[in-house]
Each structure stands twice: as structure tokens, then as C-alpha cells.
Amino acid sequence: MSEYRLYCMGESGNAYKVALMLELCQLSWQPVWVDFFHGETRTPDYRAKLNEMGEVPVLEHDGKRLSQSGVILDYLAGVTGKFGATNDDERSEIWRWILFDNHKFTANLATLRYLIQFAKTGETPVTEFLRARCINAMKIVDLHLAERPFITGERLTIADLSMLGYLYYGDELTVPLGDFGNIQRWTDRVKAMPGWKHPYEMMPGAPGKTVR
């Protein structure tokens, strides 16, 4: 039996952040598919038993049940001793970027992708607004990465894993990653690491979703 259980779905970049951490740490884990698109996360049962916030990911380990990807990443870093901070200053820097990710980076990328890819809204003033915010945030990250291989310096941390969550979905993002060379090299750097897999290879998606 796997030591970790991750409630997730292949379409969720937030769940992918945790799945990638589990793989890179070579942990024994089991994905548990959540049928988000048919409303499973909105059911009283899901909210009462798994996550009152009605979201994925949820990680179960050692009698604990954790939600919110940043919290889970921090927990796994503590348990494994990998990809976490080595001192207080680095911890502050890691959380500075995780918070930026949650408010400006993933927040806009995920919402834009959902509207175009899944809600099928087409282009609207809302998607144009979100895309502009995505591009502005990516400019910040691209410039930051011009002077370092990873977000906080010379090694991969949970700040990188948080921010990379949606960047491997390709055309689903509808944001031109190729315009940002430092970001592209950063994603390639992580992709080359032992244990890296595409989100749809690690986690089950909606029925009929192609595994990349």
C-alpha cells in the first residue's frame, strides 16, 4: 500500500505541483481521481470528509489530511528534507515566490486556461484582461530567471515546483511561453530531472483525456 494518497486530477496544475514533488522525491504514492467536472468537489460528502474548501489537491499521509498546494509542498519538504529552505532567509524567499505564484502567476494562468479550455468561453474582455496579467507576471519571472537557474538560486526548491504547476500544459495555456526564453530554459531544466513526468502521465484525467 502506498504511503501517500493524493486526491487529484490530471487537469489540475495545483495537484501536479504535489504529484511532481512526490515523484522527484521518489516517494510511494497513489493518485485518487476526483471527478471535478461532474461536481464531486462540490458535494457535501467531499467537503465534509476531504476538503471543506471544495478543491484539489488533498494529500493523506501518516494520519494527516492536508490541502492547499503550498502547504503540502512545505509539509513534504519537511518530511523528506528535500527542496525546502536551508536557512531563514531562504525560507522567506521561497514563500515570497509561492505567494506571488498564488496571487499573480498560477492564479491568472489557471483561470485563463479554465475559461478557454474547459468553459469554452472563447475570447472575451475577461480573457484578454487575464492574458495581459499572465504576460506581465511572466515578464517578472523571466527577468528574475535571467540571473539564476532556479527561482531562489542554484537549486530547485518548492518555490519552483509551485510556480511550474501550469507551465507543462502546452497549448492549453493559450499564453506564448516561447516568448520567454528564461522561463522556457527553466522548464526544460526541471523536465530533464529524473522522475519528471507530464501531468497526464502522473494523474488520471477526465475519461477520454489523452495521456501525453
> In this structure, is residue 211 part of a structural domain?
no
Domain identity same for 177 and 132: yes
Supply the CATH number for residue 100's domain: 1.20.1050.10
Cα 193 to Cα 164: distance, rounded to the nearest angstrom: 14
Render pLDDT for 162-203 as a digit per residue (tens, 0 to 9): 999 999 999 999 998 999 999 999 999 999 999 999 999 999
Domain identity same for 14 and 98: no
**212: pLDDT confidence band, cut at 50, 70 and 90?**
very low
Domain identity same for 92 and 182: yes
**76: pLDDT confidence band, cut at 50, 70 and 90?**
very high
Under 8 Å between Cβ of 92 and 99: no
> In this structure, is residue 134 part of a structural domain?
yes
What percent of the chain stands above pLDDT 90? 93
Mean pLDDT, the chain, as a whole number?
Answer: 95
pLDDT, position 208: 55
Render pLDDT for 88-114 as a digit per residue (tens, 0 to 9): 999 999 999 999 999 999 999 999 999
Domain identity same for 74 and 93: no
pLDDT, position 193: 97
Domain identity same for 128 and 178: yes
SS3 66: strand
How many domains does the chain divide into?
2
Closest-CA residue to 105 (of 184, 186, 160, 59): 160
Domain identity same for 94 and 143: yes
Domain identity same for 111 and 28: no
- Identify the domain containing residue 118 by its residue range: 88-191
> In this structure, is residue 209 part of a structural domain?
no
Please, which residues bridge with residue 7 across strands? 32, 58
* pLDDT-wise least confident of 58-62, 164-168, 176-180, 206-210: 206-210
> In this structure, is residue 207 part of a structural domain?
no
pLDDT, position 1: 72
Please compute the mean of the pLDDT values over residues 140-169 and round it to a whole number. 98
Domain identity same for 61 and 144: no
> In this structure, is residue 122 part of a structural domain?
yes
Render pLDDT for 115-144 as a digit per residue (tens, 0 to 9): 999 999 999 999 999 999 999 999 999 999
Supply the CATH number for residue 31's domain: 3.40.30.10
> In this structure, is residue 210 part of a structural domain?
no
Under 8 Å between Cβ of 151 and 144: yes
**207: pLDDT confidence band, cut at 50, 70 and 90?**
low
Cα 33 to Cα 40: distance, rounded to the nearest angstrom: 10
Is pLDDT above 60 for 41? Answer: yes
Domain identity same for 34 and 54: yes
